[in-house]
């Protein structure tokens, strides 16, 4: 049994998929989000989409960092995480404007004071204000904030995003086929619309990252930060403290940050890039996949049954994933199954259209490159080739 499983978490959400397998899959079963007829207005040429997600256990890392440093601004990043995990999923079905967002915040009032709530709520509006400058309009509809100390140890930050969208502007992944190439967008580095270096960690795999990276100091001093029924052998078993300095390089330039900053980098949104792609290159996009839960294996859920996905030119994993793997001793297969490993958005396109898509990403300061291709096969499969190994799924 993997450490991930021993901590009560499922990388592939097998039980969730089993529980929901009989639900209506919507109009386009391969679409990244479920798409339904327009029940709001009854127009056959429009659809309704509603999506729910959140920052997950990353909020526990924010709690530890805030308690250790006193830096309340870290909670603004958690607000962004909860938004982007909704927004970038919706981008993958072609929705990039006129969105509604409602937040759900559950807190233990004894541990989470008003200043934390204010930082989360203010951070939410600040993010929407920034996106508006790129033509991505999201209206903050409020939401529910509940004091439920009997339910949550610290705080959970989640949200729901919804939209009404024309059918003619949807990306449904139905056009993904053998012969397509895959353009990957990097989740790390510093985009032109970001204020500082982004580690690329996003908001998946943080339970493993937290326990594998951080020292026993945190279990001894912050009992509220983990499930106390877990075996001690899987709780905070790493070598690091949040304030520990880390060196990293970008194009041969050396920089310094901390373990806490790397683990808490806000999830990068690709909204400014995808907005331009959808407006000016819509016909070139055959499919899009957000490498969130399930990491680099996420594509298997959405591509056709008769293709083999080969990823043989993924970005070199940035420093955060190397630190996690060194601390956890996880093999490559588990790392690529749990984490995005630095490549967080896949765009399926035709070979002749590759350069125009890559150039849009790079124009926003986000690295983009061909990471692989779709091949004809008698069964659905995924092959990941790194510099040292071939991994089959």
Q: Band of the pLDDT at 3, cuts 50, 70, 90? A: low
Question: Residue 107 pairs with which residues in a beta bridge?
Answer: 147, 155
pTM: 0.94
- Work out the percent of the chain whose per-residue pLDDT is above 70: 96
Identify the CATH number of the domain in which residue 132 sits. 3.30.1330.10
Please write the tens of the pLDDT for every residue from 66-88: 999 999 999 999 999 999 999 99
Q: 131 vs 19, which has greater pLDDT?
A: 131
Spatial CA neighbour of 66 closest among 53, 77, 82, 56: 77
Asked whether residue 65 is domain-assigned, the answer is: yes
Name the one residue in this structure whose structure tokens are 């995003």: 161
pLDDT at 207: 96
Question: Distance (Å, rounded) from C-alpha 294 to C-alpha 215?
Answer: 26
Question: Distance (Å, rounded) from C-alpha 52 to C-alpha 100?
Answer: 12
Asked whether residue 241 is domain-assigned, the answer is: no
| Residue 331: pLDDT over 80 | yes
Question: Distance (Å, rounded) from C-alpha 296 to C-alpha 293?
Answer: 9
Please write the tens of the pLDDT for every residue from 264-315: 999 999 999 999 999 999 999 999 999 999 999 999 999 999 999 999 999 9
Mean pLDDT on 88-115: 98
Q: Which domain holds residue 86?
A: 3-195+264-392
pLDDT at 254: 82
Question: Distance (Å, rounded) from C-alpha 96 to C-alpha 98?
Answer: 7
Mean pLDDT on 153-174: 98
Average model confidence (pLDDT) across the chain:
95
Q: What six digits make up the tokens of 220?
A: 């001894």
Asked whether residue 81 is domain-assigned, the answer is: yes
Asked whether residue 228 is domain-assigned, the answer is: no
| Residue 15: pLDDT over 80 | no
- Work out the percent of the chain whose per-residue pLDDT is above 90: 91
3-class state of residue 329 by DSSP: coil
Please write the tens of the pLDDT for every residue from 104-163: 999 999 999 999 999 999 999 999 999 999 999 999 999 999 999 999 999 999 999 999
pLDDT at 251: 72
Q: What is the tally of structural domains in the chain?
A: 1
Mean pLDDT on 344-358: 98
3-class state of residue 232 by DSSP: helix
pLDDT at 260: 98
For residue 183, give Cα distances in angstroms to 14, 175, 325, 342.
Answer: 28, 15, 25, 13
| Residue 351: pLDDT over 70 | yes
Q: Which residues neighbour 210 within 8 Å (Cβ) at sequence distance 6 or greater?
A: 57, 60, 61, 236, 263
What stretches of the chain show up as alpha helix (H) in DSSP? 3-6, 14-20, 58-69, 74-91, 114-132, 206-213, 217-221, 259-263, 271-280, 319-328, 332-338, 354-363
Asked whether residue 251 is domain-assigned, the answer is: no
pLDDT at 7: 74
Strand ranges (E), the chain = 36-37, 46-54, 99-107, 138-147, 155-166, 181-186, 245-250, 253-258, 287-290, 307-311, 343-349, 368-376, 381-385, 390-392
Asked whether residue 32 is domain-assigned, the answer is: yes
Question: Distance (Å, rounded) from C-alpha 301 to C-alpha 350?
Answer: 21
Question: Distance (Å, rounded) from C-alpha 128 to C-alpha 109?
Answer: 27
Angle (CA) 243-248-251 rounded to 5° is 155
Q: Which residues neighbour 381 within 8 Å (Cβ) at sequence distance 6 or greater?
A: 308, 309, 392, 393
Asked whether residue 366 is domain-assigned, the answer is: yes
pLDDT at 79: 98
Asked whether residue 362 is domain-assigned, the answer is: yes
Q: What six digits make up the tokens of 307?
A: 């293709």
| Residue 236: pLDDT over 60 | yes
Q: Band of the pLDDT at 250, cuts 50, 70, 90? A: confident
Q: Band of the pLDDT at 8, cuts 50, 70, 90? A: low
3-class state of residue 210 by DSSP: helix
- Measured from the Cβ of residue 174, the count of other Cβ atoms closer than 10 Å reads 15
């Amino acid at each position: 049994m993997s450490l991930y499983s021993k901590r009560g978490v499922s990388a592939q959400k097998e039980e969730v998929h089993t529980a929901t397998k009989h639900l209506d899959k919507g109009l386009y079963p391969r679409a990244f989000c479920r798409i339904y007829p327009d029940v709001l207005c009854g127009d056959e040429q429009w659809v309704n989409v509603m999506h729910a997600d959140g920052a997950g256990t990353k909020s526990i890392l924010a709690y530890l960092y805030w308690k250790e440093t006193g830096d309340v601004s870290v909670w603004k990043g958690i607000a962004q995480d909860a938004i982007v995990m909704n927004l970038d999923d919706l981008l993958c079905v072609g929705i990039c404007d006129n969105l509604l967002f409602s937040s759900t915040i559950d807190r233990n009032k004894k541990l989470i004071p008003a200043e934390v709530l204010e930082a989360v709520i203010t951070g939410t509006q600040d993010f929407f204000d920034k996106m508006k400058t790129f033509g991505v309009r999201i209206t903050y509809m409020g939401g529910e904030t509940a004091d439920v100390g009997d339910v949550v140890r610290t705080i959970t930050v989640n949200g729901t995003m919804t939209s009404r969208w024309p059918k003619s502007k949807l990306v449904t992944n139905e056009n993904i086929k053998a012969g397509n190439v895959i353009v990957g967008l990097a989740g790390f580095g510093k985009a032109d619309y970001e204020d500082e270096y982004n580690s690329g960690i996003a908001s998946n795999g943080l339970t493993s990252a937290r326990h594998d990276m951080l020292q026993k100091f945190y279990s001894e001093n912050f009992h509220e930060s983990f499930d106390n029924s877990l075996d001690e052998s899987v709780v905070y078993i790493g070598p690091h403290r949040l304030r520990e300095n880390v060196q990293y390089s970008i194009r041969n330039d050396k920089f310094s940050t901390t373990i806490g900053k790397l683990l808490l980098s806000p999830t990068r949104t690709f909204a400014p890039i995808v907005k331009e792609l959808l407006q000016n290159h819509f016909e070139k996009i055959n499919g899009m996949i957000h490498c969130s839960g399930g990491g680099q294996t996420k594509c298997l859920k959405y591509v056709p049954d008769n293709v083999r996905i080969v990823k043989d030119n993924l970005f070199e994993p940035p420093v955060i994933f190397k630190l996690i793997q060194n601390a956890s001793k996880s093999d490559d297969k588990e790392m690529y199954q749990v984490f995005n490993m630095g490549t967080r958005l896949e765009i399926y396109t035709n070979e002749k259209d590759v350069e125009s898509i890559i150039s849009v990403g790079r124009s926003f300061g986000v690295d983009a490159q061909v990471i692989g291709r779709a091949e004809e096969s008698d069964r659905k499969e995924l092959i990941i080739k790194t510099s040292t190994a071939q991994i089959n799924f």
